[in-house]
């Protein structure tokens, strides 16, 4: 019987071996041979890099290293190691028998392959990272925030907007009393508390279920907001602004959103520059912050990271972060992105019109979902409730 070959490229995330009659008892191991990862490994000396490359070749794949690794003319090299899960496990196993601390590298490779982000339970809600997309609704009680400054400055109007956000299925309500838009000036913690605490208390008088985050870089505001009923601290400075925030986190173990910001809001957009690579610098920043917290006993499961689009970044920086968002998955923490109505979107679509920006935001949100985002921080939660249901069904 004459047969015509039919070839097509398939998504490696949707490999169904059982549908081709593959041995069902071996499906798990079979998937490992067809699922691929690319790892960037930094700061290997020449001996380590050479051994890693040879081990990769012997395992059926390859590792890219600096051209002078073989001559020993450089001190350190970054390496790009690619392979199937099965091949990477073989490499790891072989590295355990090698000198030059390569057993430590093997441990790190295994952790990266096997790690799953731990679920987070707050009140009656369990966040299953990787299985769902969650929506954080923005509620600014400020006179000067971007796009909605002054709109919810009155507590009754703010409370009505909270009701709108809940009605439209926001998973988290993020309440902020200080504008952190580019060139915004500092607000005292007393003034900030006058804005956010009455609203949090009013919500908690009638609602014990909705999850509230407080958007603040001040430890005193954060502490009082937690006592008033907030559940999460969203610190745009990642405790760089107020070092007492670190102590508060260690004392309370309250979940925290660590945001990357290059400088304070009043100066962060004054020609922001990065020494080598924006994504690598932000990755290293978070790596350090996570180590500081966890080494002091703070649970890693309570850390959420936000690469800080627009916080000391040009449009080019923001686009690079979006394109390479998956790299932050290696940190083992859920990822939040706040991109709603931001200036780089205004620049991209050449409009400051909120309805148009909401459309641009939801289009970008769909791309972020594909890149592995866990929480979308947005103004228009109604659009995003539709998006997350569609994404869960079709992607």
For residue 270, pLDDT beyond 80:
no
pLDDT, position 33:
87
pLDDT, position 223:
98
Residue 65: CB partners within 8 Å, gap ≥ 6? 44, 49, 50, 52, 53, 77, 79
Burial of residue 162, with CB atoms counted within 10 A of its CB: 0-12 exposed, 13-18 middle, 19 or more buried = buried
* Annotated catalytic residue within 94, 195, 377, 388: 377
pLDDT-derived band at 147 (thresholds 50, 70, 90) equals: low
- Residue 238 corresponds to which tokens in the numbers above? 């990642």
d(CA 262, CA 272): 7
Give backbone dihedrals phi and psi of 217, rounded to 5 degrees, phi first.
-110, 5
pLDDT, position 293:
98
Active site residue 342: yes
DSSP 8-state assignment for residue 211: E
Active site residue 377: yes
Q: H or E element: which one contains 31?
A: helix 27-34
pLDDT, position 1:
56
For residue 393, pLDDT beyond 80:
no
| Helices (H) then strands (E): counts for the chain | 13, 13
d(CA 213, CA 137): 10
d(CA 47, CA 76): 10
Place of tokens 């003319």: 73
pLDDT, position 394:
63
Domains, the chain, ranges and CATH?
A: 13-114 (no CATH), 120-394 (3.20.20.20)
Q: How far is CA 320 from CA 15, 36, 293, 316, in A?
A: 29, 22, 27, 6
Name the percent of the chain lying above pLDDT 90.
73
Residue ranges of alpha helices (H) inside 210-353 are 219-228, 244-252, 278-295, 315-323, 343-349
Q: 26-85, pLDDT tens digit by residue?
A: 777 788 888 889 999 999 999 999 999 999 999 999 999 999 999 999 999 999 999 999
- Residue 91 corresponds to which tokens in the numbers above? 């490499």
DSSP 8-state assignment for residue 16: -
User: Do β-strands 172-176 and 134-140 pair in parallel, antiparallel, or remain unpaired?
Assistant: parallel
**Are the C-beta atoms of residues 311 and 261 closer than 8 Å to each other?**
yes
d(CA 256, CA 376): 15
Place of tokens 């079979």: 30
For residue 246, pLDDT beyond 70:
yes
For residue 382, pLDDT beyond 70:
yes
For residue 144, pLDDT beyond 70:
no
Q: 330-349, pLDDT tens digit by residue?
A: 999 999 999 999 999 999 99
What ranges make up the beta strands (E) of 71-163?
76-84, 120-122, 125-127, 134-140
For residue 220, pLDDT beyond 80:
yes
* Annotated catalytic residue within 90, 342, 371, 388: 342
Which residue, 375, 353, 395, is CA-closest to 128? 375
For residue 395, pLDDT beyond 60:
no
Give backbone dihedrals phi and psi of 76, rounded to 5 degrees, phi first.
-135, 155
């Amino acid at each position: 019987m004459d047969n015509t070959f039919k070839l097509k490229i398939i998504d490696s995330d949707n490999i169904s071996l059982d549908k081709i009659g593959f041995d069902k008892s071996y499906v798990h191991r079979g998937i490992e041979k067809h699922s691929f990862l690319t790892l960037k490994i930094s700061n290997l000396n020449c001996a380590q890099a050479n051994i890693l490359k040879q081990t990769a070749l012997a395992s059926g794949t390859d590792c890219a290293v600096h051209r002078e690794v073989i001559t020993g003319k450089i001190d350190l090299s970054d390496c790009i190691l690619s392979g199937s899960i099965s091949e990477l496990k073989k490499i790891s196993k072989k590295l355990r028998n090698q000198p030059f601390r390569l057993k430590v590298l093997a441990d790190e490779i295994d952790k990266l392959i096997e790690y799953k982000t731990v679920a987070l339970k707050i009140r009656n809600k369990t966040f299953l990272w990787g299985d769902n997309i969650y929506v954080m609704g923005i509620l600014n009680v400020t006179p000067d925030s971007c796009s909605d400054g002054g709109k919810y400055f009155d507590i009754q109007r703010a409370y009505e907007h909270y009701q709108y956000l809940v009605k439209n299925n926001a998973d988290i309500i993020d309440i902020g009393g200080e504008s952190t838009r580019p060139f915004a000036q500092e607000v005292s913690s007393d003034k900030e508390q006058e804005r956010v605490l009455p609203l949090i208390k009013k919500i908690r008088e009638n609602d014990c279920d909705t999850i509230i985050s407080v958007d603040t870089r001040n430890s005193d505001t954060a502490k009082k907001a937690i006592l008033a009923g907030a559940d999460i601290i969203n610190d745009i400075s990642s405790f760089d602004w107020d070092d007492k925030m670190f102590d508060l986190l260690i004392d309370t173990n309250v979940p925290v959103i660590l945001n990357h910001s290059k400088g304070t809001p009043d100066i962060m957009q004054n020609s922001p520059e990065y020494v080598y690579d924006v994504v690598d610098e932000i990755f290293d920043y978070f790596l350090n912050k996570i180590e500081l917290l966890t080494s002091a006993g703070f649970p890693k499961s309570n850390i959420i990271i936000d690469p800080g689009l627009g916080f000391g970044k040009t449009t080019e920086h923001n686009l690079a972060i979006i394109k390479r968002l998956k790299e932050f998955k290696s940190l083992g923490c859920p990822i939040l992105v706040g991109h709603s109505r931001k200036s780089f979107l205004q620049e991209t679509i050449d409009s400051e019109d909120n309805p148009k920006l909401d459309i641009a935001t939801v289009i970008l949100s769909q791309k972020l979902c594909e890149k592995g985002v866990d929480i979308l921080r947005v103004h228009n939660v109604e659009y995003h409730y539709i998006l997350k249901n569609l994404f869960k069904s079709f992607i």
